[in-house]
Chain A
Amino acid sequence: GAVVSQHPSWVICKSGTSVKIECRSLDFQATTMFWYRQFPKQSLMLMATSNEGSKATYEQGVEKDKFLINHASLTLSTLTVTSAHPEDSSFYICSAYGVSGRIVTDTQYFGPGTRLTVL
């Protein structure tokens, strides 16, 4: 399977600061990555689709100016939570479709997640 990494694995920040989370595909190139958010005892909610070299596509209700996504290379997407507030505290997970040879597979592989706590 494909390997997706995230950094940092956890972060604590003060209210009003910005936090950047990195998502990397380690052994394959990912033109498309996805960012999810998961609150305790809830399922994954897709926030946005990150497209290499173009603007991200945000899901309804997700503020694009608050959650900045940059996908500048085929192996790296970043999510920046700007002016974070306690209600942004959550588990943020990225994913990418695996690649077999030159073929993009139908399986999404998830990074290990980043737990954000905003004080």
Chain B
Amino acid sequence: QKEVEQNSGPLSVPEGAIASLNCTYSDRGSQSFFWYRQYSGKSPELIMSIYSNGDKEDGRFTAQLNKASQYVSLLIRDSQPSDSATYLCAVRGSNDYKLSFGAGTTVTVRA
């Protein structure tokens, strides 16, 4: 499996601030990149997918991809207490349907 690493956290930010999450991957052939959010005791839910270099914005979330640096990030703007969760970076390689997950970064938004 491909290796996916995330900054370990936990990350604590005040309400309204920007939370920045980072992820690196080892397989240069990877083509698809995903950010999932997982609340405690629940299964992951998809937040963002990104396939091309650059930024992709969806509401308060922005994903950034740099394939040359093998780096993908997620920014959460105007963080809300409801954003408190573990964020999982997932990478899919070019030759199979499997996803490789990072260990996750736990974010706590302080009210």
Contacts and interface: CB of A to CB of B under 8 A. Distances in A.
B76 to A, nearest CB: 19
B43 A108 contact: no
B43 A93 contact: yes
Contacts of B102: 43
Interface of A: 1, 32, 34, 42-46, 49, 59, 93, 97, 106-113, 115
Nearest to A59: B1
Contacts, number: 46
B101 A43 contact: yes
A34 B98 contact: yes
Interface centre among A34, A43, A106, A111 (most CB of B within 10 A): A43
A34 B96 CA distance: 13
Contact of A46 (B1, B32, B43): B1
A42 B103 contact: yes
Contacts of A113: 42-43
Interface of B: 1, 32, 34, 36, 41-46, 49, 51, 88, 90, 92, 97-104
Nearest to A93: B43
B46 A112 contact: no
A107 B34 CA distance: 8
A100 B83 CA distance: 29
A113 B45 CA distance: 12
B83 to A, nearest CB: 19
A106 B98 contact: no
11 contacts: A34-B99, A43-B88, A43-B101, A43-B103, A49-B98, A59-B1, A97-B97, A106-B32, A107-B34, A108-B90, A113-B43
Contacts of A107: 34, 46, 49
